[in-house]
Amino acid sequence: MTRDRISFLFINIGHFFDHLILLVFATVAALVLVREWGLSYSELIPYAIPGLIAFGVGALPAGWIADKWSREAMMVVFFIGLGVAAAATAFAETPLQIGVGLFLIGLFAAIYHPVGLAMVVEGRRRTSVPLAVNGVFWNMGVACAARLIDVAGWRAAFAVPGTVCITVGCAYAIFVYTGARHRLRTTVSERHDETVPDAKLTISRRSLFRVFAIVFFTTAVGGLIFQSTTFALPKVLEERLHELAGTSTEVGWYAFLVFAVAALAQLVVGYLVDRYPLRTVFACIAALQVVLFALMQQLAGAAALLVAVCFMLAVFGQIPINDVLIGRTTTSACFDSSSRSRWRQRRCQ
Amino acid sequence: MIAFIHARWDFAALFLVLSVAAATIFVAALLLPNTSAQRS
């Protein structure tokens, strides 16, 4: 296995832990803490808010530091910081303590997307499939979060992935330390040479602003849909699958099943956007979501499970579209005829 | 938002909100330029 592939594997594993640890609480709160701590679902969920805000806002300084310092070093910080925060959260005795733990988890988890995703697309000619493969890893992380508490209890659901995450971080630090010079000399310089011709798009400045506005809007609203569905799904299944799932273990299994099947959507959509007009694929995915969410309102039992699988397919399928749209648009901005200065090219690399 | 909606109504209301949100994304997607025709 080449160093590039090993690096790609580490980055994918990072995406797995990023979403696994971030979503443990959603399942824990829905299925276990409601009983153990005697609080309602709506009373527990607000303790996740500081962490979710940190997850979003923290991406800005994380990306800035990575550009100034080192993406690889920031990934080491991500693995070890996230692992320590998760392991510490396992010792929480009160909702406030778990809120502090979730804040730290959100803070370190925020490092992944601006740093890890940049490393996935760095210098690649076709980015859709690598992004889709990377996306499958976080889907599996989400799926495992739903399963983990049934296997070992809610404290272990934080402690076990936290410990493994620290171990992976140490392994990645050794990998980076032993091969940093080699990678800098070979892959980066070669990759950029082959990227430029294929990535060149011709979009007028006016269209570019329109695309940026649409990307901003769809990413924001898509994020709302994504967070709501992934966070609420375990509780939705608990309420709607009375006939099929009587225990939290069974609910966990169904949530795992839904997320795992939906993970395939990223591969399919990644394949489609490389071959068909992005607008067509995007519109179809959005239309599917409209219909499926409307259908889900009053459904229960097996029909609800089936529709849940379908809408999670559509929700996860939208993620590579946003990534590709941002990638194509920013590449276009970088290599537009009016912006060929070395400064602009350097900024976009 | 999930806590707010779940406390006052139920998940049916959440899915209604999500359906409307997805409809706005559908409209936004239709406003995108056709990227396949713009490759040089």
Residues A202, B10: C-beta atoms closer than 8 Å? no
What confidence score (pLDDT) does residue B21 get? 93
Q: How far off is chain B from A235, nearest CA to CA, in Å?
A: 9
What confidence score (pLDDT) does residue A23 get? 78
Residues of B in contact with A34 (CB under 8 A): none
User: What is the number of CB-based contacts under 8 A between chain A and chain B?
Assistant: 115
Ramachandran region, residue A276 (left: φ > 0; alpha: ψ -120 to 50; beta: rest): beta
Residues B32, A211: C-beta atoms closer than 8 Å? yes
Q: Which of B2, B38, B40 sits opposite A232 (nearest CB)?
A: B2
Residues A240, B11: C-beta atoms closer than 8 Å? yes
Chain centroid to CA A336: 30
Residues B28, A214: C-beta atoms closer than 8 Å? yes
Q: Which two tokens stand for residue B15?
A: 């899915």
Residues of A in contact with B33 (CB under 8 A): 203, 207, 210-211, 279
What confidence score (pLDDT) does residue A44 get? 81
Instruction: Please check whether residue A244 is in contact with residue A301, taking contact to mean a CB–CB distance below 8 angstroms.
Output: yes
Instruction: Please check whether residue A242 is in contact with residue A119, taking contact to mean a CB–CB distance below 8 angstroms.
Output: no
Q: What share of chain B is helix, strand, coil (3-state, %, to 5)?
A: 80, 0, 20
Following DSSP, what letter does each residue of A39-79 receive, concatenated?
Answer: --HHHHGGGGHHHHHHHHHTHHHHHHHHHHS-HHHHHHHHH
* CA–CA separation, A184 and A331 (whole Å): 22
Q: Which of B16, B32, B39 sits opposite A279 (nearest CB)?
A: B32
Chain centroid to CA B19: 6
What confidence score (pLDDT) does residue A182 get? 58
Beta bridge pairs of residue A201: B39
Q: How far off is chain A from B9, nearest CA to CA, in Å?
A: 11
Q: Which of A68, A135, A169, A146 has its CA nearest to residue A313?
A: A135
- Is B29 within 8 Å of chain A by CB? yes
Q: How far off is chain B from A193, nearest CA to CA, in Å?
A: 18
Residues B38, A203: C-beta atoms closer than 8 Å? yes
- Is B22 within 8 Å of chain A by CB? yes
Residues of A in contact with B3 (CB under 8 A): 41-43, 45-46
In the predicted model, residues of chain A with pLDDT beneath 70 are: 1, 29-30, 123-128, 138-152, 180-204, 246-249, 326-349
Q: Which of A202, A239, A282 sits opposite B29 (nearest CB)?
A: A282
Mark A63-95 as b/e (b = at least 16 C-beta within 10 Å): bebbeeeebbebbbbbbbbbbbbbbbbbebeee
pTM of this prediction exceeds 0.90: no
Q: Which two tokens stand for residue A106?
A: 């959100």
Name residue A110's amino acid: A
Beta bridge pairs of residue B39: A201
ipTM of the complex: 0.85
What confidence score (pLDDT) does residue A209 get? 80
Q: Give the 3-state DSSP-derived string for A123-160, with helices as H, strands as E and coil as C.
A: CCCCCHHHHHHHHHHHHHHHHHHHHHHHHHHHHHHHHH
Instruction: Please check whether residue A243 is in contact with residue A303, taking contact to mean a CB–CB distance below 8 angstroms.
Output: no
**How does pLDDT run across B14-40, given as a tens digit for each residue?**
899 999 999 999 999 898 876 553 443
DSSP state of A338: G
For A38, the 3-state DSSP assignment is: coil
Residues of B in contact with A290 (CB under 8 A): 19, 22-23, 26
Residues A293, B22: C-beta atoms closer than 8 Å? yes
Instruction: Please check whether residue A279 is in contact with residue B34, taking contact to mean a CB–CB distance below 8 angstroms.
Output: yes
Instruction: Please check whether residue B38 is in contact with residue A277, taking contact to mean a CB–CB distance below 8 angstroms.
Output: no
**Closest residue, chain B, to A216 (C-alpha):** B28
What confidence score (pLDDT) does residue A284 get? 93
* CA–CA separation, A257 and A309 (whole Å): 8
Residues A201, B10: C-beta atoms closer than 8 Å? no
